[in-house]
Structure 1
Amino acid sequence: MSAATVALPYGDSQLRVVLGAGRFTTLAPVPPPALDDPSLALRTALATPIASPPLAACVRPGDRVTIVVADGTRATGIRALMPTLLTVLEHAGVADARVRVLFALGIHRRQTAAEHAAILGPEVAARVAHADHDCDDDATHVALGGDGPAATFRLNRGVLDGDLVVVTGALGFHYLAGFGGGRKALLPGVAARASVQAFHRHSLAADPGAGRHVAAAPGVRAGNPLDALATAAAARVPRTFLVNTIMVPGGRIGAVLAGDVHAAFTRGCDAYRAAFTVPIATRRPVVIVSAGGAPRDGDLVQTQKAIAAAAAALAPGGMMLVLARCAEGTGQAELLRWFTHPDRAAHLRALHEAFSVPGQTALALREHAERAEVYLHSTLPPDLVARTGMRPVACVEDFFAAVARRHGRDVEGYVLPEGARYLPVVEAEA
């Protein structure tokens, strides 16, 4: 009998993978259907928002509005929504000249004008002012102040000085903050570099030898220190209105949620968890995961999120094949330096002494590679991949040959077509 073949996202196309050894179950529950008319869905959401007056009632004629938009590493569907969003604001008396788009880069690289146009659409990019957040421009950052854990964090003054901030993004599992979207567009999205570093440092347990905080995990909000900090920071931004999407396979919009930045986000997290949690009976020795194609597999930093999801379905010491083009390289120039530490313990000590976000990402990659055999099929140089502890494979057939040698040809495994989109959960542990 011939081996089964699956087509998995890889960059801007798909990679056909012949499952040469093993018996595989695909972990991809039926997602919500894509919206036929995202513009209509947005109009409805803006007119009947969650725990908030309608958007049109949140502004006065002539108000200054900042729209926070994710950079190109996130697929949010914002291009399809921007014309309607601007129309609603215009009808409420806020002309294009009073609107500014602020791209929430965090500490990511600056974007080009062409990338701005691709995210917003050329017509919208020509209509409204837009700029990248610069985490290193201290003159543009203001401390949140007040009481509480977020008081010392510094955000872009563009979200503090205007009359209304429309916070956009896409909901999804996040390997540290529990969920992406919502409040994360503000912290770390438009925070100063030192604030971004301080925010991510809370992902570590207080004990230098313990590794990650137990609640800093995908799908977890209760007790999650990053979720708590981002929520506290969002509460310090004077006037906000949330517009978040739930994206479905194919890069299409499955739902639009709008309203109070906290209540609407919580509603969205509940909906996302219900739709994209994948119950499994047990972890298996072999997992094949696609990072989800562009932009989710644009670099190693984004790919790590899919590896984290796949690890939840992999038995200890198992074998994982990761498909991620990584056309933009590692994604963080400092990332590889952290692999000069001889082991996890030394890596953790260095992180506690001088924390850095690339060091945190490198730690996650190191831990996955130490707990299992992680094979990466990408366009990255093989020697670079090997430095991370992962095993480069130019041909996926080489992975299945290794599986057959270790487990035989009847081993059971899983396939995750879009790793970062889903969260496998062992039913007995739920």
Structure 2
Amino acid sequence: MQLTIPYHKTSLPLRIPKTHHVDIILPHEEPVLTDPDTQIRNALENPVASPHLGDIIQPGNTISIIVSDSTRTTPTNIMLPPLLDMLLCADAQEQNITIIYALGIHRRQSEQEQVAIVGQDIYQKYQCIDHDKDRCQYIGTTSRGTRVEVFDQVVRSDVIICTGSIEYHYFAGYTGGYKAILPGVSSYRSIMANHGLMIRDGTSPGNYNCPVRSDMEEAGSIFGVDFILNVVLNSKKQITGAAAGHPVHAHRVGTQTVDGMYKQSIEPADIVIVSPGGWPKDIDLFQSHKALEHVKSAIRPGGSVILGAHCCEGTGNEVFDKWMNMGYLPEEIISKLEQEFILGGHKAALLAKLALEFDMYLVSGLTQKTAKKAYFNGGLSLQQTFDKVSDKYRPDARVVVVPYGTSTLVEKVSDILI
């Protein structure tokens, strides 16, 4: 069998012998019947459990529109024009609208990256700024003890609109919704407290009742968000669904679309080959790891997983990099996180947990030395890696290929039946 998996802005070829039993897990995607602009305008005109934007905006209101940063595939340049049209029709003034990139703890962006996200015309017409995690104001505290500290530019605004795309998230259940606020435009302290909840029971992708998202939504409710606009994308990054309105109820409409497209069940395999889905989802190892969490249920105990991720920006996080360079055994680094949760360090501990369950291989632009520090075997091409791994198993080994791992959630058949 000849196939390819997405890799950066291209793809990697792979040949699998006929003796192997191969399952390729692809989304259940329906044809896109409506152009994206129409889908978005329909969502805006029919908000879920929310007043119409025209009834929310008052003359003279200052408005913050929170958008995704360059690590996300959200088609912000397509979403903003109809949203801005509706705001202007409601008598909002261009000079009162600020577009804020939700960086969370990600690096600051170049002007070129900012322009690419919103489009040249919008960038020139509106104020577009990066979130600054060091300029946040205290709003309140959640029942789980998370201090709600939000970027002062957002706090000063009269109307808050969150945009984003919805897909699975390995410890927040799903992306989208209130995630634009926490972590998107929150302080480092707030993000640390919220993300520290990932070590609690109930944390899993596809669970919107998990501790982290429940805390996010409580924080967002304390702060107050007026409206959201979220989209669902297919594997070609085309908009297949849009939901607008209430930050929770509209978000849930989107999660139903995601589950219908991307949640699948399968018997665990000897070898799983996964790609995050190409650029920008494989921009660095910090982001690419998410694909492993989404497919780990598809790997039998003692099996192997091959991650094909270019990682053109390296490991992607200074703390993550520092923890990997400590040279700890997997058990030691897991124990270190349990003693004190540190954002960035959590990624090293999660990789360590996976390494105790499976043999991990990395096909990337990273050096073999860097891959080894992150508990991967590396340094070979995809074909060379597969040939090496398949030699460990019987000729009729089961192989599962997941080309869009960041978007797809693969569960064991037994998990679905329970």
Distance (whole Å) between structure 1 residues aligned to residue 12 and residue 321 of structure 2: 27
Answering whether residue 399 of structure 2 is matched by residue 413 of structure 1, we say: yes
Answering whether residue 31 of structure 2 is matched by residue 33 of structure 1, we say: yes
Deviation at 1:29, TM superposition (A): 3.2
Whether the aligned pair in 2 keeps the contact of 1:35 and 1:253 (CA below 8 Å) is no
Answering whether residue 307 of structure 2 is matched by residue 310 of structure 1, we say: no
Distance (whole Å) between structure 1 residues aligned to residue 2 and residue 146 of structure 2: 53
- Name the structure 1 match of 2:306: 321
Answering whether residue 318 of structure 2 is matched by residue 333 of structure 1, we say: yes
Answering whether residue 164 of structure 2 is matched by residue 169 of structure 1, we say: yes
Distance (whole Å) between structure 1 residues aligned to residue 338 and residue 13 of structure 2: 43
Task: Give the letter aligned to residue 316 of structure 1.
Answer: P
Deviation at 1:86, TM superposition (A): 0.9
1:56-95 matches, within 5 Å, as: 56-95=54-93
Whether the aligned pair in 2 keeps the contact of 1:70 and 1:168 (CA below 8 Å) is yes
1:291-310 matches, within 5 Å, as: 291-310=276-295
Distance (whole Å) between structure 1 residues aligned to residue 142 and residue 164 of structure 2: 27
Distance (whole Å) between structure 2 residues aligned to residue 305 and residue 155 of structure 1: 26
Partner SS state of residue 388, structure 2: helix
1:14 corresponds to which of 11, 16, 27? 11
Whether the aligned pair in 1 keeps the contact of 2:334 and 2:352 (CA below 8 Å) is no
Partner SS state of residue 169, structure 1: strand
Distance (whole Å) between structure 2 residues aligned to residue 392 and residue 260 of structure 1: 45
Render the CA deviation track for 1:235-284: whole Å, top value 9, x for unaligned.
0123420100101111211111100001111221122122210121x111
Partner SS state of residue 145, structure 1: strand
- Name the structure 2 match of 1:220: 207
Whether the aligned pair in 1 keeps the contact of 2:362 and 2:378 (CA below 8 Å) is yes
Answering whether residue 268 of structure 2 is matched by residue 283 of structure 1, we say: yes
Render the CA deviation track for 1:186-218: whole Å, top value 9, x for unaligned.
0111111111111111112xxxxxxxx231110
What TM-score, normalized by structure 2, do the two folds share?
0.95
Deviation at 1:147, TM superposition (A): 6.4
Deviation at 1:34, TM superposition (A): 3.3
Task: Give the letter aligned to residue 53 of structure 1.
Answer: P
Whether the aligned pair in 1 keeps the contact of 2:71 and 2:281 (CA below 8 Å) is yes
Distance (whole Å) between structure 1 residues aligned to residue 111 and residue 155 of structure 2: 25
Answering whether residue 326 of structure 2 is matched by residue 379 of structure 1, we say: no
- Name the structure 2 match of 1:104: 102
Distance (whole Å) between structure 1 residues aligned to residue 260 and residue 47 of structure 2: 21
Task: Give the letter aligned to residue 235 of structure 1.
Answer: S
1:190–1:389 distance in 2 versus 1, CA, 3 Å: same
Unaligned runs of 5+ in 1: 205-212
Distance (whole Å) between structure 2 residues aligned to residue 146 and residue 380 of structure 1: 41
Deviation at 1:126, TM superposition (A): 0.8
- Name the structure 1 match of 2:184: 189
Task: Give the letter aligned to residue 25 of structure 2.
Answer: L
Deviation at 1:341, TM superposition (A): 5.4
Render the CA deviation track for 1:327-358: whole Å, top value 9, x for unaligned.
01001022132232533443233224442211
- Name the structure 2 match of 1:148: 143
Render the CA deviation track for 1:82-134: whole Å, top value 9, x for unaligned.
11111111111012111101111010000011000100011111111011111
- Name the structure 2 match of 1:54: 52
Task: Give the letter aligned to residue 19 of structure 1.
Answer: I
- Name the structure 1 match of 2:117: 119
Whether the aligned pair in 2 keeps the contact of 1:159 and 1:237 (CA below 8 Å) is no
1:390–1:186 distance in 2 versus 1, CA, 3 Å: same
1:198 corresponds to which of 193, 197, 213? 193
1:103–1:237 distance in 2 versus 1, CA, 3 Å: same
Answering whether residue 232 of structure 2 is matched by residue 232 of structure 1, we say: no
Render the CA deviation track for 1:32-62: whole Å, top value 9, x for unaligned.
4335421111111111110011112110122
Distance (whole Å) between structure 1 residues aligned to residue 141 and residue 333 of structure 2: 35
- Name the structure 2 match of 1:210: none
Partner SS state of residue 106, structure 1: coil
1:5–1:86 distance in 2 versus 1, CA, 3 Å: same
1:128-143 matches, within 5 Å, as: 128-135=126-133, 137=134, 140-143=135-138
Distance (whole Å) between structure 1 residues aligned to residue 211 and residue 306 of structure 2: 31
Distance (whole Å) between structure 2 residues aligned to residue 363 and residue 158 of structure 1: 34
